[in-house]
């Protein structure tokens, strides 16, 4: 079930949001919803990449956290120029996670 979320913005930002919404042919709520969902996805990816880089989680765990495929998270890792240190231990951990 959808919940209503409110926030306060300066008038100048509301004006810019309304202008962009009109340009795209959507209402303010739809535009803000798309902004929030996009930002949430990007923040989750950045968090997962930081955790992966720090050795806290595996590639597979990062993919699951971001709701991405393993190949998609590998592309994100490449895009972020993070060195992958995927070793046998990490592969075994991912295989255990896959098998339940």
Distance of alpha carbon 82 from alpha carbon 16, whole angstroms: 35
Residue of 18, 97, 22 lying closest to 57 (CA atoms) = 97
In sequence order, what are the residues at sequence separation of 6 or more whose Cβ sits closer than 8 angstroms to the Cβ of residue 21?
27, 28, 30, 31
- Using a cut of 0.95, tell me whether the model's pTM lies above it: no
CA angle 68, 37, 22 (to 5 degrees): 135
Q: Are 94 and 60 in contact (CB under 8 A)?
A: yes
Taking only the tens place, the pLDDT of each residue in 32-87 is: 999 999 999 999 999 999 999 998 998 899 999 999 999 999 999 999 999 876 67
């Amino acid at each position: 079930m959808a919940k209503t979320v409110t926030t306060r913005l300066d008038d100048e930002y509301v004006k810019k949001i309304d202008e962009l919404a009109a340009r795209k042919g959507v209402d303010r709520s739809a535009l803000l919803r798309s902004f929030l969902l996009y930002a949430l996805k990007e923040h989750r990816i950045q968090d997962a990449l930081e955790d992966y880089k720090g050795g806290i989680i595996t590639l597979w765990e990062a993919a699951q956290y971001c709701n991405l495929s393993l190949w998609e998270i590998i592309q994100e890792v490449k895009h972020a120029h993070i060195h992958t240190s995927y070793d046998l231990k990490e592969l075994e951990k991912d295989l255990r996670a896959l098998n339940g």
